[in-house]
């Protein structure tokens, strides 16, 4: 990082965009569904996700933002950049381990959504006879 400290800022911006996109994904579970996993999934492909989260990756985003706010995730991102920039004397102010675990699961979930793809859930519209 000493050769190109701008990489830290680039990382910050990428993670900030990902966190904001993850926040929006928690609301998409009602309209979108992830395509079925393979019949015999590898535990390595599952990453840090439970079996239930692997089947429905949107649960990860819902759980993460139920426990922490968007602002707490963004502050966590800021703390990571601060600690990455060099020597520091302060202790982290928040529980960064739990935030890190949630962020790691969100990254795994996003990868699964990307690999398997999405399909839109069809709305059940009432017919004229109802």
102: Cβ contacts below 8 Å, ≥ 6 apart: 60, 63, 64, 67, 68, 73
Q: What is the pLDDT of residue 116?
A: 87
Q: What is the pLDDT of residue 29?
A: 79
Tokens 């990571």 belong to which residue? 80
Q: Tens-of-pLDDT digits for all 130 residues of the chain? A: 667 878 888 999 999 999 999 999 888 878 888 888 777 667 777 888 998 998 889 999 999 999 999 999 999 999 888 887 776 666 666 678 899 999 999 999 999 999 888 888 776 555 555 4
Q: What is the pLDDT of residue 118?
A: 85
Q: What is the pLDDT of residue 8?
A: 87
Cα–Cα dist 117/115, whole Å: 6
Contact 77, 19 (CB under 8 A): yes
Q: What is the pLDDT of residue 130?
A: 46
Contact 5, 41 (CB under 8 A): no
Distance between first and last Cα of the chain: 65
């Amino acid at each position: 990082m000493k050769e190109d400290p701008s990489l830290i800022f680039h990382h910050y911006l990428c993670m900030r965009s990902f966190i904001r996109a993850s926040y929006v994904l928690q609301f998409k579970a009602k309209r979108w569904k992830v395509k079925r996993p393979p019949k015999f999934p590898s535990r390595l492909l599952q990453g840090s996700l439970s079996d239930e989260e692997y089947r429905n990756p949107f649960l990860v985003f819902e759980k993460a933002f139920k426990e922490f706010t968007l602002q707490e995730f963004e502050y966590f991102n800021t703390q990571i950049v601060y600690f990455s920039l060099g020597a520091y004397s302060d202790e982290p102010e928040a529980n960064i381990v739990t935030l890190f675990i949630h962020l790691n699961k969100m990254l795994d979930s996003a990868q699964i959504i990307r690999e398997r793809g999405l399909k839109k859930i069809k709305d059940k519209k009432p017919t004229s006879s109802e």
